[in-house]
Amino acid sequence: MKTTLEIPDELYRAVKAKAALEGRRVTDVVIQGLRLLTEKPKVAVKRLEFPIIKTSKRKDLPTLEQFQLAEEEMYENEVNQFVQLMRR
């Protein structure tokens, strides 16, 4: 879909510079940002890096819920970093 948006000049310049540095189109950078803001994170355990815990007590191991919360927090941090970058 094509649309017209009013974007502050400084934000557009930042997006255009980022796109140029990465050899991408401005449209692609904007689409990536919109996806970060709207898509729910996909479960990707490979993105998580937890230390190996050697224990004989099973209760000391992280639960699935703890892994999911950590992943959601990482996703929120990525979105916040993108938003901050776009505000520069």
CB burial of residue 14 (10 Å; 0-12, 13-18, 19+): middle
Residue 27 predicted with pLDDT over 60: yes
DSSP calls for 24-61? --HHHHHHHHHHHHHSPPP--GGG--PPP---S-GGGS
Mean residue pLDDT across the chain: 82
End-to-end CA gap in the chain: 27
Going by pLDDT thresholds of 50, 70 and 90, the confidence category of residue 40 is confident
Going by pLDDT thresholds of 50, 70 and 90, the confidence category of residue 25 is very high
Contact by Cβ (8 Å): 48, 69: no
Residue 20 predicted with pLDDT over 80: yes
